[in-house]
Copies of this chain bind each other. A is one copy, B any other.
Amino acid sequence: MAEAREPMQDIAHLGHTEILTPRRDESLWFFKEVLGMEEADRQDRSVYLRAFGDFDHNTLKLTEAKSAGLGHIGWRTVSSQALDRRAQALEESGSGKGWIDGDVGHGPAYQFEDPDGHLMEVYYQAEKYRPAEGERSALKNQPQRYPVWGVGVRRLDHINVLSQKVGRDREFMEEYLGFKLRENVVLDDGTEAGAWISVTPLAHDIAYTVDATNSNGRLHHVAYWADTREEVLRAADIFLENGIYIETGPSKHAITQGFFLYVYEPGGNRIEVFSGGYLILTPDFEPVTWTQEERAKGQAWGLQLPETFHTYGTPVVDPDAETKDVPVFDSS
């Protein structure tokens, strides 16, 4: 065991995501008034948002676009040196796209694509959120005051993207960014249908799940953390009262043990309010592989997810996903 390679620890955490929306005003209303996030800035076609417990300036870039979908995913490194190491490795991998100067809230970033085509970037310099007087929390260790309205999510938690080849993408993330496999699903024919991976003690910072439509580069969902399961239950009432389409939940996942609630924001992207789960502090965690038969049992308490959970993503490419059960979004 002493001869094992030491773990790479260059990526600190999921820093931000950018999602695209064909209905910016309605999407903004959802994130601000319903989820309880705050607008941090606006530039051109984008609005930058944050949750009250996010330490950085913003964690969500909401950009107006013709279709819903993923803009990009930002991974923050633990240091400048780590950033340089990752940029060089990505450059050599052939997946690199080069440096950008930065964006609202963060400095230089090296952009690249995972094999499935999801745009990502690594960066280190980030602007800490400095609350204006009225936004200061009574608790000195909280970046921003707890909101008195909406769901009141605390922080960005994870992202889930669809992929044509889950195993391929998982290995890419392991090799070039130091992700560790936590849990995955392997079908009877050997196909890896889903992989939950992380650089942090969270059971997943990102998950790859197979794209049933065989498209590439699509988004499954972005998840924000709520402090308690009770807040997730309360979120369901808030979504209900505000006409937000609840796809499934609240209930408990078998994989990651997360307590989930999935909705479609008005722009069409799937958003999760997430709590619970378990932490992986142990350095030699043994990944958990679920078989096809085990997955057929449904979620932790037996709930079967709706068909759309396995077919719907953004941008919407499956015409069948826009029918009966799902509210039609103007996302083309």
**Chain B residue nearest in CB terms to A242:** B148
Residues of chain B within 8 A (CB-CB) of A100 are none
Asked whether any CB of chain B lies closer than 8 Å to the CB of A229, the reply is yes
Contact A139 B55 (CB under 8 A): no
Residue interface bits A258-292, CB-to-B below 8 A is 1, else 0: 01000000000000000010111111111010100
**B126, B200, B203, B229: the one within 8 Å of A228 (CB):** B229
Contact B12 A281 (CB under 8 A): yes
Residues of chain B within 8 A (CB-CB) of A285 are 55
Report the bound CA distance from A237 to B228 in whole Å. 14
Residue interface bits A1-35, CB-to-B below 8 A is 1, else 0: 11010110100110000000000000000000110
Report the bound CA distance from A137 to B294 in whole Å. 13
**B2, B146, B300: the one within 8 Å of A81 (CB):** B2
Report the interface size class on chain A.
35 or more
How many whole Å from A291's CB to the nearest CB in chain B?
A: 9
Asked whether any CB of chain B lies closer than 8 Å to the CB of A160, the reply is no
Contact B6 A82 (CB under 8 A): yes
> For the complex formed by this chain, how many copies does it contain in all?
4
Contact B250 A301 (CB under 8 A): yes
- Output the residue of A150, A249, A250 with the most chain B CB within 10 A: A250
Q: Which residues of A contact B (CB under 8 A)?
A: 1-2, 4, 6-7, 9, 12-13, 33-34, 53, 55-56, 76-82, 124-126, 128, 137-142, 145-146, 148-150, 154-155, 183, 200-201, 203, 227-231, 233-234, 236-243, 246, 248-252, 254-257, 259, 276, 278-286, 288, 290, 294, 300-303
Listed by A's residue number, 30 A-B pairs whose Cβ atoms lie within 8 Å are A2-B80, A6-B78, A9-B78, A12-B283, A13-B281, A13-B282, A56-B282, A77-B283, A79-B283, A126-B284, A128-B286, A138-B240, A140-B294, A141-B254, A141-B288, A142-B257, A142-B278, A146-B237, A148-B241, A148-B242, A149-B149, A155-B279, A228-B230, A228-B276, A236-B300, A237-B300, A240-B301, A246-B302, A248-B302, A248-B303
